[in-house]
């Protein structure tokens, strides 16, 4: 299908595809996302189970806290996804992993209270202290 | 950043590092390779001379993303840890978000600003280099 969102790790060993519609696409400033990506901010989107699949390779998995599974490429290390037991039927992929990372646009900021002081965000998107729930 | 020792770690803590003294430079990188290694819209990093840097716990896995370029990451949790290039063989490049206290980071420039994602809107007054370079 031509409207599939496709993505990959840095080396291309692991690839995935997602059938729209996705759940929301957001920027996240929480320390766990920052440390998973080694970046000042992560951007991710949710995909319900049944609408996505790994199309090449198999990522490694790490449980960063109870019930939170983070996956990454074992060859190049690139972060690929995370999922939480609290939203057990949804996987989250990183927007920057998409073959076209501009195919989606984040619509809000999560955990803005944890934002690093030197990252000067200049957009007008809603900024939530937590996950917007 | 103040004089060392300054320490950092991966997400799971299997890999730890420390360095002494000042950083050589510090900034944000928008290049596609950094974005894909970190799976993030932008990453922020700094350079430290090899002789002032050491791994203090574990050793990262390495991936050669292009000739003469090594990208290091934690083999347990996957967190990107460092970048080494034959072009800058006197120093190691580390990610600010891996610092034990990342709030102390002081970026002074943007690199590869020409590759930035259209939806990333930052409002600082730092120097914006279209490619690499200080």
pLDDT per position as a tens digit, A11-43: 999 999 999 999 999 999 999 999 999 999 999
List residues of chain B with CB under 8 Å from any CB of chain A: 10-12, 28, 33, 35-44, 61, 63, 65, 71-81, 95-98, 102-103, 105-107, 117-119, 121-124
The model's pTM is 0.95
Write down the residue that tokens 């002074």 correspond to: B108
Q: Which of B33, B64, B78, B124 to mutate against chain A (most A CBs within 10 Å)?
A: B78
Rounded CA-CA distance B128/B134 in Å is 9
pLDDT band at B3 (very low <50, low <70, confident <90, very high): low
A59-68, B1-10, B122-131: segment of lowest average pLDDT: B1-10
Mean pLDDT of the region B15-28? 97
CB contact under 8 A, B37 and A78: yes
Is the per-residue pLDDT at B43 higher than 80? Answer: yes
Q: Which of A39, A70, A101, A107 to mutate against chain B (most B CBs within 10 Å)?
A: A39
Chain B residues lying within 8 Å of A100, measured CB to CB = none
CB contact under 8 A, B117 and A96: yes
Give every residue of chain A whose pLDDT is below 70, as ranges: 1-2
pLDDT band at B51 (very low <50, low <70, confident <90, very high): very high
- Mean pLDDT taken over chain B: 95
Mean pLDDT of the region B11-24? 97
The predicted structure's pLDDT at residue B64 = 95
Whether this model's ipTM surpasses 0.85 comes out as yes
């Amino acid at each position: 299908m031509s409207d599939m969102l496709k993505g990959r790790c840095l080396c291309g060993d692991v690839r995935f595809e997602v059938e729209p519609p996705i759940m929301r696409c957001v920027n996240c400033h929480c320390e766990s996302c920052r440390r998973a990506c080694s970046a000042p901010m992560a951007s991710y989107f949710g995909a319900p189970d049944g609408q996505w699949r790994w199309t090449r390779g198999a990522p490694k998995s790490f449980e960063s806290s109870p019930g939170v599974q983070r996956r990454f490429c074992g060859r190049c290390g690139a972060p690929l996804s995370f999922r939480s037991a609290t939203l057990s039927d949804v996987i989250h992929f990183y927007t920057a992993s998409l073959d076209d990372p501009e195919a989606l646009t984040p619509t809000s900021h999560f955990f803005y209270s944890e934002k690093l002081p030197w990252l000067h965000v200049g957009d007008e998107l809603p900024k939530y202290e937590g996950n917007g729930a | 950043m103040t004089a060392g020792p300054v320490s950092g770690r991966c997400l799971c803590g299997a890999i730890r590092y420390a360095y002494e003294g000042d950083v050589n430079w510090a900034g944000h990188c928008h290049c596609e390779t950094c974005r894909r290694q970190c799976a993030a819209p932008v990453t922020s990093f700094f350079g430290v001379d090899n002789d002032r840097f050491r791994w203090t716990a574990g050793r990262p896995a390495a991936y050669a993303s292009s000739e003469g370029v090594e990208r290091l990451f934690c083999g347990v949790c996957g967190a990107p840890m460092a970048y080494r290039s034959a072009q800058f063989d006197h120093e190691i490049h580390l990610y600010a978000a891996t610092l034990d206290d990342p709030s102390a980071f002081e970026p002074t420039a943007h690199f590869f600003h020409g590759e930035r994602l259209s939806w990333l809107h930052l409002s600082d007054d730092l120097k914006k280099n279209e490619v690499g370079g200080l």
